[in-house]
Chains A and B, each alone.
Chain A
Amino acid sequence: MTGGGSRDALWAVRGILGGRSYLVLAALGFASFVGGWWLLAASGLVDAVFLPAPDAVARRWYAWFSDGSLLVDVRVSLGRVLGGFSLAVLMAVPLGLYIGTFRPLQAFFEPLMEFARYLPAVAFVPLVMLWVGIGEAAKIALIWIGTFFQMVLMVSDNVRQVPMAQIEAAQTLGANRDEVISRVVFKSALPGIVDTLRITLGWAWTYLVVAELVAANSGLGYAILRAQRFLQTDKIFVGILLIGLLGLLFDQGFRLLHRRAFPWLHAR
């Protein structure tokens, strides 16, 4: 046997796995999670108040859904996440593009952003409430604080990954500076930028829950907090699972967008 083995072998390093096998294994992963949870709950080792069984959670899910408030909560939370996230994207992508392109801007902004991203976004909650009150603006502001600085740094990094040869080729073909930026740098960095957005959207969900736990009277985070007051552990579970599911959905959406928008990365 050779050191690495054939790439078709199941445990080959960076081996190949068919699409169907992938799906089966992913489903197995979820099934074992639910199975383990169910076993633990059914064993009676843990009080149902602390760990409700999957079926109790499913019943609660249905009840929440059928009284109509679940969709309202989802819609409210979704609106906040997308609001704060879009605001961050609109500001971070152009800024990151220019920081990654021009050294003086990099020198001016990057250390500042590095500093800002270590400021704990959660600790801004009291400040944000003082500044913009407890309305929708507060949630959007907190999500923005939690994502914007990281996003700028990651986008500027994506931009710096563009091979110099691509830029120089355009310059020697007669492209002016604006054309180099719009036709080469941005186009070349775009797949990386979309990946950055996919990753930062996950963080936006985290800060949404923080914002809603502190100051809100609607949304999934708020529902979780209220459920805690009434000791409705099953509802807390539903809230957490829902957020996980929504996150997964958006992640897959971004991956699909990636495949559709950048066929050259997937064409072989």
Chain B
Amino acid sequence: MSAPCIQVEGVAKHWPGQAQPALAALDLEIGEGEFVALVGASGCGKSTLLRLVAGLETPSAGRIRVDGEVVRGPGRDRAVVFQDYSLYPWLRVHENVSFCLALRAHFGPASLAEVEAAVARAHALLELMGLDAVRDHYPSQLSGGMRQRVAIARALLARPRVLLMDEPFGALDAQTREVMHELLLRLFQIEHHTILFVTHDVEEAIYLADRVVVLAPGPGRIDSIHVPVLPPPGERRPELKLAPEFLRYKQLVLERIRATSGVRHDLDKLDHLAELSRRARPD
């Protein structure tokens, strides 16, 4: 593995009023330029971990370092792409994308050349993300897929070292998701970010990532880490999702999630419900 970029060291998170910690003494290292997908049962602490790395929450114990520096709050080196509602509805698409250019952190006393380079990059990103035709639209006029493209472009324009994505495609339909996957893979051939990607979709996780981390709930901890032996991300094509070795990894990861999610109980309850329904319909 290359030099570590994100180091999670013994991190725990207790939410006030909750018996069990959301995360307990978690260790994880993510290498420079690596794409790590985080999967696991609902409520196992995926978002909590991502928000801790973003600096949007503070750990109850342990520490997180990014490029050797301890995370103490949100910063422009770690951009976040949220699932929804994070675009600025009062700004047009191109204004949303260039939002960071108006911030002092990016352009204190900037030279003209720097500003020009940034504006050119904004143009290039709009073009790459297929947003040229809608650059003057408001977010409310866009489809869900288009909105997420804007959110990704906005994050990338800030030139972050790390990109944190929390179910960025969670609200999209299957076809749009597929398009976004190809877009992401292409994008990361050009820009080499370190990426932490939270998703519910195991197929998406295996297809996009170098490594897939399965979290187990109650308390949140790492269950297993999977390193699928597949072509490098840049050479993956949608057909890969049907290949036997891909399906084997998918099966494996799904089994781990199922084993840790405690869904088994619910099957007894289903029998119970069936019994009740039978009694309610005496015929």
What residues make up the interface of A, taking CB atoms closer than 8 Å to B? 163, 165-166, 168-176, 179, 183-184, 187-188, 190, 262-265, 267-268
CA distance A176 to B108 in the complex (A): 12
CA distance A190 to B90 in the complex (A): 10
Q: Which of B88, B151, B160 sits near A184, CB closer than 8 Å?
A: B88
Would B86 and A169 count as touching, CB distance under 8 A? Answer: yes
Write out the residue numbers on chain A whose beta carbons fall within 8 Å of the beta carbon of B86.
Answer: 163, 165-166, 168-169
CA distance A190 to B139 in the complex (A): 17
Question: Which 8 pairs of residues, A with B, have the shortest CB-CB distance?
Answer: A174-B76, A174-B105, A165-B86, A171-B74, A264-B138, A169-B86, A173-B100, A172-B80
Known: A165-B82, A165-B84. A176 touches B105 (CB 8 A): yes
Q: Tell me how far the C-beta of B183 lies from the nearest C-beta in chain A, rounded to whole angstroms.
A: 20
Would B90 and A264 count as touching, CB distance under 8 A? Answer: yes
Would B79 and A172 count as touching, CB distance under 8 A? Answer: yes
Q: Which of A173, A184, A263 sits near B155, CB closer than 8 Å?
A: A173
Would B88 and A173 count as touching, CB distance under 8 A? Answer: no
Is the CB of B106 closer than 8 A to any CB of chain A? yes
Write out the residue numbers on chain A whose beta carbons fall within 8 Å of the beta carbon of B75.
Answer: 172, 174
Is the CB of B70 closer than 8 A to any CB of chain A? no
Interface size on B, residues (CB 8 A): 35
23 A-B residue pairings within 8 Å (CB atoms):
A163-B86, A168-B74, A168-B82, A169-B82, A169-B154, A171-B73, A171-B74, A172-B75, A172-B155, A172-B164, A173-B100, A173-B154, A173-B158, A174-B75, A175-B105, A176-B105, A187-B90, A188-B88, A188-B89, A190-B90, A264-B90, A267-B138, A268-B141
Q: Per-residue CB proximity of B85-118 to A under 8 Å, as 1/0?
A: 1111110000000011011111000000000000
Q: Tell me how far the C-beta of B188 lies from the nearest C-beta in chain A, rounded to whole angstroms.
A: 19
Would A267 and B100 count as touching, CB distance under 8 A? Answer: no
Would A168 and B84 count as touching, CB distance under 8 A? Answer: no
Q: Tell me how far the C-beta of A167 lies from the nearest C-beta in chain B, rounded to whole angstroms.
A: 9
CA distance A190 to B88 in the complex (A): 13
Write out the residue numbers on chain B whose beta carbons fall within 8 Å of the beta carbon of A173.
Answer: 76, 79, 99-100, 103, 154-155, 158
> In residues 49-94 of chain B, which contact A (Cβ within 8 Å)?
54-56, 73-76, 78-80, 82, 84-90
Write out the residue numbers on chain B whose beta carbons fall within 8 Å of the beta carbon of A174.
Answer: 75-76, 100, 103, 105-106, 158
Main secondary structure of the interface of A (DSSP, over half): helix
Is the CB of B224 closer than 8 A to any CB of chain A? no
CA distance A170 to B73 in the complex (A): 13
Would A268 and B140 count as touching, CB distance under 8 A? Answer: yes
Would A179 and B104 count as touching, CB distance under 8 A? Answer: yes
Write out the residue numbers on chain A whose beta carbons fall within 8 Å of the beta carbon of B160.
Answer: 172
Q: Tell me how far the C-beta of A92 lies from the nearest C-beta in chain B, rounded to whole angstroms.
A: 22
Q: Tell me how far the C-beta of B25 lies from the nearest C-beta in chain A, rounded to whole angstroms.
A: 26
* CB closest chain-B residue, reference A168: B56
Q: Tell me how far the C-beta of B82 lies from the nearest C-beta in chain A, rounded to whole angstroms.
A: 5
Write out the residue numbers on chain A whose beta carbons fall within 8 Å of the beta carbon of B139.
Answer: 264
Q: Tell me how far the C-beta of A258 lies from the nearest C-beta in chain B, rounded to whole angstroms.
A: 13
CA distance A168 to B46 in the complex (A): 17
* CB closest chain-A residue, reference B81: A169
CA distance A268 to B56 in the complex (A): 33
Would B76 and A172 count as touching, CB distance under 8 A? Answer: yes
Write out the residue numbers on chain A whose beta carbons fall within 8 Å of the beta carbon of B158.
Answer: 173-174
CA distance A174 to B106 in the complex (A): 8
CA distance A165 to B74 in the complex (A): 13
Known: A169-B86, A171-B56, A264-B140. A179 touches B103 (CB 8 A): yes
Write out the residue numbers on chain A whose beta carbons fall within 8 Å of the beta carbon of B140.
Answer: 264-265, 267-268
Write out the residue numbers on chain B whose beta carbons fall within 8 Å of the beta carbon of A183.
Answer: 99, 102-103
Would A172 and B74 count as touching, CB distance under 8 A? Answer: yes
Would B141 and A169 count as touching, CB distance under 8 A? Answer: no
CA distance A183 to B160 in the complex (A): 20
CA distance A179 to B54 in the complex (A): 19
Would A166 and B88 count as touching, CB distance under 8 A? Answer: yes
Q: Which of A168, A188, A262 sits near B80, CB closer than 8 Å?
A: A168
CA distance A32 to B85 in the complex (A): 45
